[in-house]
Structure 1
Amino acid sequence: MYTKEMLITDPDQSGKRVKAVVRNYVAADYEELIRIQAESFPPPYPEELLWSHEQLTSHVQHYPVGAICIEVDGELAGSMTSLRMQWDPAHPASHTWAEVTDDGYIRNHNPDGNTLYIVDLCVRPKYRKWGLAQLMMQAMYHLVIAQGMDRLLGAGRMPGYHLVADQLSAQEYLEQVAAGERRDPVISFLLRCGRMPVGVTADYLDDEESCNYAALMEWQNPFR
């Protein structure tokens, strides 16, 4: 199981440092994790896509080391969930979130899969300037290396795309964000975390802001 303690800077209190802990989440965390999801993904994000007790239980049953959360000064502030899958980069088939995550239950987790797939990432809004998402992403990179996988893979929302969808294809939008010509709240963050764009997948989520597209992005294990 994973536990990492560190001191991080409170951006609102002139450099004050507080303790943060990245660890695997357990049953006692479920209620708070569901509250964090509701805060992190307000409408128009579909309410039915927020975690349930049954889904969180399934994460811990099928791949406990791939289910992490982060605490700040003892308060749960975010979570990140993953599964292992087999993926062929030469033939990156299009997929939906429901297909690749088993509707969020990850019962399709493959213990021998060559790829760590990110199911979900969320951070409580009041902590979004603290760099917590990057810390959880680093923990997932550690997992890729520790378990000898080839890569981390995930499909990121493109919430800025709807603003220019009448001018650009989803692929063109991704390319412009990757080139630094545009900024997207999610894709620009993933680029800062070292993720590389692979392409776009259509009908990934019922997501008005992204026009149902998502950007497929990977991080390759440098030791493979």
Structure 2
Amino acid sequence: MKNDIRVIIPAFNEQNAVGLVVDEIPKDWVSEIIVVDNGSSDDTFAQAERSGATALRENRRGYGQACLKGMEHIANSTTQPDIVVFLDGDHSDYPAQLPELVQPILSGEVDLVIGSRALGQKEKGSMTPQQVFGNWLATTLIRWFYGVSYTDLGPFRAVRYSSLMAIGMTDTNYGWTVEMQLKAAKLKLRTLDVPVNYRQRIGVSKVSGTVKGTIMAGYKIIFTIFRHL
């Protein structure tokens, strides 16, 4: 029997990118692709529908809020998946690498796989210096205080659905990725970093593309690390 793998893509004003992201996902590996339009003012929702994805609306802004909406949709479906994959809607990730992320879970080795940009090949300019430093600082603090070694807080990740439910995600914005990794560490889930490649996104980042976004994201990540100790 084919494994049930669902993909959640949070998207905010990604009309020029989201269709490309959906198109590049290996369709023979997934059961459903869910795009959550996080209150976009452009054509993101319609583009997601045209690409064949399940398009949802979540007007409460926040990266985590959009991810939670996708999870709510899955929880309300008639069957639950084996694995959930999270992927950004800005075309910076390489969706074709999805099999590399889910395979360690399918083989029973781990519960959570983080797509690590630090271990993969990054296109020049795809990550700002503050992003690189922020990831280094956050993963260092996690290693010091939680005793688990991660190399990245990257958005491209796969998690066993039962483990995702055990983690109990609640963060509605910038702390989403780090919350998942911290709670996985506290639950002693088996985790693995897998190299993924990274390219310049389409459009301007709502986080690293602004000073305010960079500061707010950095503050929230550090705050989350200490809050869950």
Same fold (TM over 0.5): no
| Larger Rg belongs to | 1
Q: Say which structure is richer in helix.
A: 2
Higher RCO structure (Cα 8 Å, ≥6 apart): 2
